[in-house]
Amino acid sequence: MERINSLMQLLTYLVNFSEAELEIIASCFKPKSFNRNTIILEREEVCKEFYFVYKGCLRTYFLDIEGRERTRYIMLDFNIGTALSSFIYENPSFEYLDALEDTEVLAISYSDFYRLNKELPNWTFFYQKILEMAYSFQNKRIEDLIMLSAKERYEQLIKERPEFIKRLSNKIISSYLDIAQETLSRLKSK
């Protein structure tokens, strides 16, 4: 119950859902668990689930031409998301989705997600917020990567997402900030 209550809290924070709507939504989410370092979605697989992370850490990333991991998005406790581009269009995914910690989620299937989108106007507004946030986040990321130095990006992360620094390995943080691991170690030691 605690898991579903947390999700309901997040949902009502974003949109003014009625009790009846929340009940319908709650019935669509199923609990799942992933062990640390499990790949949940492989490249070329179609992403068929959307997640609420109750506890743990999910991440989307892709491999560049040299086979290096490029981390796109990180979801810690009480965050929502998925490999969104693949999920939206039912396309083979370019990115991977994995669990970086032992992770407990609530998952909603593609078919339930888009059925709610048709049937519950407030779910449509919830999905709108998700898309608006995802787009703006992506835009901001591109701007930061171009406009800020490695040091500035690291300092911004300390300020805005201190929990990332505490919980994620140097490997993950450096791939998220797009800086070399040695640079990150140097910045951390200062």
- Residue identified by tokens 């997402």 is 161
Residues linked to residue 80 through DSSP beta bridges, in sequence order: 52
Residue 163's contacts (CB-CB under 8 Å, 6 or more residues apart) are: 76
**Of positions 17, 34, 127, 176, contacts a second copy by CB under 8 A:** 127
Burial of 12 (0-12, 13-18, 19+ CB in 10 A): middle
Residues 20-49 that bind a second copy (CB under 8 A): none
- How many CA within 13 A on the CB side of residue 23? 3
What's the min distance (Å) between Cβ of 166 and a second copy?
27
Does 94 participate in binding a second copy (rule CB under 8 A)? yes
| Total chain residues near a second copy (CB under 8 A) | 27
What's the min distance (Å) between Cβ of 88 and a second copy?
5
Complex with a second copy: residue 121 or 162, whichever CB lies closer: 121
**Of positions 143, 155, 163, 182, contacts a second copy by CB under 8 A:** 143
Task: Pick the closest to residue 174 from 189, 153, 144, 160 (CA basis).
Answer: 153
HEC states along 43-74?
CCCECCEEEEEEECEEEEEEECCCCCEEEEEE
- The answer to whether the beta carbons of residues 93 and 45 sit under 8 Å apart is yes
**Of positions 11, 74, 75, 84, contacts a second copy by CB under 8 A:** 84
Does 1 participate in binding a second copy (rule CB under 8 A)? no
Q: Which stretch binds a second copy (CB under 8 A): 45-53, 100-108, 138-146, 155-163?
A: 138-146
Does 88 participate in binding a second copy (rule CB under 8 A)? yes
Contacts with a second copy by CB under 8 A lie at: 62, 64-65, 70, 84-85, 88-89, 94, 117, 121, 124-125, 127-128, 131-132, 134-136, 138-140, 142-143, 146-147
